Amino acid sequence: MPKFSSEKLWREALMIAVKAKAKDGGTKLQNMAAKAVSMAMSGDARMLSEIGDRLDGKPAITSNVEVTDNRTDADVQAWIADTFGAQPKADDGTRH
């Protein structure tokens, strides 16, 4: 019985199982991949997507957000003063 070296016991056990030789001489993982391809070729949309995600990576999820903020610096400074009870420092024109 192999020793497990990490806390990912399930992953390690699966890796041992899929690397094992199959009856046809290949590995069980190779047979699983062949079955996945066969299913995709038969029109299985889920398997087509899975194979695409594994080969090309999952498509990035993008979001476009537009924010319109009409507050002036004076509005923001007043909010800071009201919220935190502090008077804003005078703007000397430099960035911090």
Q: How many CB atoms lie within 10 A of CB 33?
A: 15
Model pLDDT for residues 4-53, shown as the tens digit of each residue? 566 789 999 999 999 999 999 999 999 999 999 999 999 999 999 999 99
Separation CA 6–CA 25 (nearest Å): 29
Residue 94: band (very low, low, confident or very high) from pLDDT cuts 50, 70, 90: low
Separation CA 27–CA 33 (nearest Å): 10
Average pLDDT over residues 69-93: 81
CB contact at 8 A, 28 and 20: yes
Model pLDDT for residues 48-79, shown as the tens digit of each residue? 999 999 999 888 888 999 988 899 999 988 98
